[in-house]
Amino acid sequence: METKERRAALQERLQASPEAVTGTALAQEFGVSRQVIVGDIAILRAAGSRIVATPQGYWIPKENVKQTIQATLVCRHNNAQLAAELFAVVDRGGCVLDVAVEHPLYGELKGALRLSSRRDVERFLYNLGEAQAEPLSLLTGGVHLHTIEVPDRETLHEIEAELAQMGILVS
């Protein structure tokens, strides 16, 4: 398969997928290395594709699939409360789309998460430990922003109330 054909097929594959697909799975599917897929994704993005990279893999957001509400929550906690924070959101039907911090030198630093289930959170926490990495909030004394997606205002209020009760939500 030629490079242009592979990139077109990769774009189609991601558009058709209802969920994220890992770079490793795409590499196996297309018979190339994971690094080739990473390069192809970068070129497709540069050409205007809305491919999003998350801990679960690559995906393309679907337009007008469902009505949801997005909100930004300001949170503060230590590393020991990270799991509880994320579980509080997903257990109530929310999706943690990303995390962002305001760095004094670099400005906003943002990481895509797309965590919508306990399994996603557990995988994220496992990967964080395996990589021996620290969460972005470490850079800002625990203060960070999450963009979350919820099906309705009631769900948003439940999540906010739970995080406030836990002492995590900054008002």
Residue-wise pLDDT for 7-59, tens only, equals 999 999 999 998 899 999 999 999 999 999 999 999 999 888 889 988 889 98
The rounded distance, in Å, linking the Cα atoms of 70 and 149 is 4
Chain centroid to CA 158: 21
Residues 80 and 136 both lie in one domain: yes
pLDDT averaged over every residue in the chain: 91
Across the range 56-76, mean pLDDT stands at 84
Instruction: Check if the beta carbon of residue 88 is closer than 8 Å to that of residue 57.
Output: no
- 61 burial (CB, 10 Å; 0-12 / 13-18 / 19+) is exposed
Instruction: Check if the beta carbon of residue 40 is closer than 8 Å to that of residue 6.
Output: yes
Q: Report how many domains make up the chain.
A: 2
Instruction: Check if the beta carbon of residue 88 is closer than 8 Å to that of residue 159.
Output: yes
Give percent above pLDDT 70 in the chain: 98
Domain of residue 107 covers 69-165
Q: Is residue 153 helix, strand or coil? A: helix
Across the range 63-75, mean pLDDT stands at 82
Instruction: Check if the beta carbon of residue 3 is closer than 8 Å to that of residue 9.
Output: no
Q: What is the CATH number of the domain that holds 152?
A: 3.30.1340.20
What confidence tens digit (pLDDT) does each residue in 96-117 have?
999 999 988 888 999 999 999 9
Point out the domain boundary residue: 14, 33, 59. Answer: 59
Across the range 120-147, mean pLDDT stands at 91
Element (H, E) at 17: none
Question: CA dist 20 to 107, 111, 132, Å?
Answer: 28, 15, 24
Point out the domain boundary residue: 59, 78, 99. Answer: 59
**The pLDDT value given to residue 66:** 63
Confidence of residue 64 (pLDDT cuts 50, 70, 90): low
